[in-house]
Amino acid sequence: MSTTHGAAPGEQLTAEEAAQLSPEEAMMAGAEADGVYIVHRRDRFPIAGTKAEKRAERTIAIIFLIGFLAAVAFIVVFCGAVPFEWRLPGTGNQNYRYFTPLIGGLLGLSLACIGIGVVLWAKWLLPEEEAVQDRHDGASDMTAQILGAGTLVSGFEDLGIARRSMLKSTLGLAGGALAAVPLVALIGAMIKKPNRGPRQSLFHTPFEAGVPLVYYDGRRVSPDDLLPGGLATVFPGVEGGTKDADSPTLLIRLRPGQAVKARKGQADFGWGDYVAFSKICTHAGCPASLYEQKTGRLLCPCHQSQFDVLQDAKPVFGPATRSLPKLPLNVEMVDGRQYFIARDDYPEAIGPSFWERP
């Protein structure tokens, strides 16, 4: 190789001299030129071919061989020796259960064998070595600093930024405005005005006067459906109502003797022994779906806010601050059967709070 690239200190050999060196000597000389001093170096097996050396070599070879076998086994399993298609338990070939563990395990084994073998090779067979390298870190030497600073300053003077204040300020204006362009372009393209139109408003849900209450599968909800203490998740019976993230509503039929202390102006929101609250937790928007019918408590599993249905879904524990909004209920008769409808939308925004909310 070419020898006098970079005139590092210590690299004083001519090419002819360097060519006479053994690879190890050349390495040492090169290392020294790089400020690396090999202070200790010895073969782990100074006498070639001892039993211990052969044993070490054999062990590593066996590990590599296991890695080879594992990789081959992986390929065999992967290519169809074990089926991978999922089958319902009790139907068809259930051996697919072994497919993922097998290929993961075999891949892991194969990789582990190569990794362990290579590490052992390094630890057992490579020469034991302790090298010390000069760091040369921190700031450059003073001359280099002065020359570097001079280069910067001279370029700066050539530009004449200090003198040409008109150029400086106009370029600053143009550059500053241009720098805002990508930000404006991205945000401008993505921005959407909140609360525009009823379907895009944080204050409204798809419920409105006369909208029927339906189950997730679209069936209408009747007061005969629930036993006392029962609860159902219902949705507005409009297009996309079950998919709307704000519409899940808890319809609760109180147990005999339970009564809800209503909020001001909402005394008539219930219907018979039924009440309906928004299911969306007022804290972070998870569905508050765990209902303990004896105590009338609702728990949100995300951050454990608890609401007391009997106190009009007031938060009684956890981080939530606002009661669950209450849906005004009514019923209509269809074919001689009563079905629930909403009397109006929720009187307030449902779900987590936000800045614009009073």
Partner 1 sequence: MTTTNPADHTMSGTGPTGPTGPTVKGPKRFDKPRTPQGKAARWGEDRLGIAGGMRKQLNKVFPDHWSFMMGEIALYSFIILILSGTFLTFFFDASMAEVRYDGAYVPLDGVQMSRAYASTLDISFEVRGGLVMRQIHHWAALLFMAAMLVHMFRVFFTGAFRKPRELNWLIGLGLITLGLVEGFAGYSLPDDLLSGTGLRIAAAIMQSIPVIGSWAEFLVFGGKFPGTVIIGRLYIVHVLLVPGILAGLIGAHMALLVKQKHTEFPGPGKTEQTVSGERMYPTYGMKAGGFFFIVFAVCAALGGLAQINPVWLFGPYNPGQVSSGSQPDWYIGFLDGSTRLFPSWEIRLFDHTIPPLFWPTLVLPGIMFSLAGAYPFLEAKFTHDKSAHNLLQRPRDVPVRTGLGAMAITFYGVLLVSGGNDLIAKAFDISLNAMTWAGRISLLVLPPLVYAATYKICLGLQRHDREVLEHGIETGIIKLLPHGEFIEIHQPLGAVDAHGHGQLGYAGTPVPKKMNQLGTPRRPSIRGFFYPVREKADIQAELDALAAAESSREEHRERELTD
Q: Which of residues 82-141 bind partner 1 (CB under 8 A)?
A: 84-86, 88, 100-112, 114-119, 121-123, 126-127, 129-135, 137-138
Instruction: State the minimum distance, in angstroms, from the CB of residue 289 to partner 1.
Output: 6
Our CB check for partner 1 shows the closer of 148 and 301 to be 301
331 beta partners: 340
Task: Please list every residue from 237 through 256 that binds partner 1, using CB under 8 A.
Answer: 242-248
Query: Binding partner 1 by CB under 8 A: which of 43, 141, 157, 332?
Result: 43
Contact at 8 Å (CB) between 275 and 223?
A: no
Give strand pairing partners of 42.
128
Q: How far apart (Å, rounded) are the C-alpha atoms in residues 276 and 327?
A: 5
* Cα–Cα distance, 337 to 326 (Å, whole number): 24
> Smallest gap, in angstroms, from Cβ of residue 272 to partner 1?
23
For residue 104, the one-letter residue type is G
Q: Which is nearer to partner 1, 84 or 274 (CB)?
A: 84
Cα 73 → chain centroid: 34
Distance in Å, CB of 180 to partner 1, minimum: 17
Cβ atoms of residues 38 and 30 within 8 Å: no
Scan residues 7-26 and list those touching partner 1 (CB under 8 A): 8, 14-16, 19-23, 25-26
> What is the amino acid identity at position 330?
N
**230 binds partner 1 per the rule CB under 8 A:** no
Give min distance, CB of 153 to partner 1, in A.
Answer: 24
Give the nearer residue to partner 1 in terms of CB position, either 38 or 262. 38
Nearest approach, Cβ of 294 to partner 1 (angstroms)?
Answer: 16
Pairwise CA distance, residues 79 & 116, whole Å: 27
Q: Is 290 in the site for partner 1 (CB under 8 A)?
A: yes
At residue 317, φ and ψ (nearest 5 deg) are -155, 155
Q: Side chain identity at 162, as an amino acid letter?
A: A
Do residues 295 and 316 lie in contact, with contact meaning Cβ atoms separated by under 8 Å? no
Cα–Cα distance, 222 to 214 (Å, whole number): 9
Q: One symbol per residue from 145 to 184: x for binding partner 1 (CB under 8 A), - otherwise; what is it?
A: ----------------------------------------
The residues in 188-227 that bind partner 1, with binding defined as CB under 8 A, are 190-195, 199-202, 216
Binding residue for partner 1 (CB under 8 A) from 53, 64, 78, 222? Answer: 78
Residue with tokens 């020796």: 81
Q: Say whether residue 51 binds partner 1 (CB under 8 A).
A: no
Backbone angles phi, psi at 293, to 5 degrees: -70, -30
